[in-house]
Amino acid sequence: MQNYVAVKKLSKEYSCRRLFADVSITIPDRSVFVVLGHNGAGKTTFLRIICGLVPATSGQVDFVLCGNVLTAAEKRAKVGLVSPDLELYGELSAVENLEFFSGVRGLPFSLQRAREILEFVGLKGRGHDYVATYSSGMKQRMKYAQALLHEPPILILDEPTANLDEVGVALVDTIIRRQKEKGIVIMATNEPREVCYGDQQLSLA
């Protein structure tokens, strides 16, 4: 098992409230890991700690690719995140957003690649519209475009089908299936349809 995510004795407390304690789990390559729990159980916080956006109270999360533990900067290049509180630049068009995220990741940008990815997420023909003019479902699709742009081996999804219609939900199914074939999916959800994808589950009380 050369590629995996190792969560070691992870704990998170806010003031006097403990969200979770001593969570240890290994998420292997080509698998889907699902975090379950009621509202406020700490699902989003758990994902944010994995992404490195929020510090853990104790414990650590290691990303191991080809046997090497990644540094914080390397982790950033290997993760794609879709989350309800992640927003894209509304004053820029979809293509301009993708151009920016390519540039800031140090990747070459091509209009062809942008068109392909926008077509894949169902935004064909809307690439030059400002993201602020999109509906909430279209914004969610755009978040997938941004998260998949650098073809990350690890995809982290918080409420993956939020705001999506039936076609959008089918798109997410496709994305999860494809990602599972080549990497890792970690997602927080309570939707029975999405929970079924999980090879492993963690239930936060």
Partner 1 sequence: MATSSFPWLSRSLAVLRKDLRIEFRTRYAYSALLMFAITTLVTVSFSVGGFMSGPEMTDIAAALLWIILFFSAMAGLSRTFVQEEESGTVIALKMAAEPEPVYIGKYLFNVVLLFSLTVLVVPLFVVMLNLSVVLVGGFLATVFLGAMGLAGASTILAAIVAKAGAKGSLMTVLSFPILLPLMLGAISATRTALGGGPPGAINADLLMLFFYNGVALAASLLLFEYVWNE
Report the site for partner 1 in 114-153 (rule: CB under 8 A). 146
Residues within window 27-56 making contact with partner 1, judged by CB under 8 A = 51, 53
Structure tokens at 195: 């929970």
* 100 touches partner 1 (CB under 8 A): yes
What are the residues whose beta carbons fall under 8 Å from the beta carbon of 9, sequence distance 6 or more?
22, 23, 24, 58, 59, 60
* Interaction of residue 88 with partner 1, rule CB under 8 A: yes
Of 41, 81, 138, 188, the one binding partner 1 by CB under 8 A = 81
Q: How many residues contact partner 1, by CB under 8 A?
A: 26
Residue 149 CA to residue 115 CA, distance in Å, equals 11
Residues paired with residue 18 on neighbouring β-strands, in sequence order = 13
Least separation in angstroms between residue 81's CB and partner 1 is 5
CA distances from 37 to 31, 40, 88, 113, 185 (A): 20, 8, 27, 37, 18
Question: Is residue 163 close enough to count as binding partner 1 by CB under 8 A?
Answer: no
- Identify which of residues 26 and 113 has a Cβ nearer to partner 1 in the complex: 113
| Distance in Å, CB of 107 to partner 1, minimum | 6
CA distance 163 to 155: 19
List interacting residues with partner 1 (CB under 8 A).
Answer: 51, 53, 73, 76, 79, 81, 83, 85-92, 96, 100-108, 146
